[in-house]
Amino acid sequence: MWLLVINGLAYLIYGTYTGHFIRRLLNIRPMAAYRNVKLEIKQLRIHGTGEYNLIQRVL
């Protein structure tokens, strides 16, 4: 168990020190955000509100 904690802490320290988190996780470009919102709205229009997909019906 402690090995996993030490490994996680090492990952966080290394990622912070090298800038990995800033480059990979916090790198949000305005066009990418716009594209994601546009695709979500398109999916909402296709799928509609109040409708269930196959997995939701099974559960």
What are the pLDDT digits (tens) for 10-52?
999 998 899 888 788 777 788 888 888 888 888 766 666 667 7
The pTM assigned to this predicted structure is 0.43
Q: How far apart are CA 46 and CA 40, in angstroms?
A: 10
Question: Which helix (DSSP H) or strand (DSSP E) does residue 26 occupy?
Answer: none
Q: How many CB atoms lie within 10 A of CB 12?
A: 11
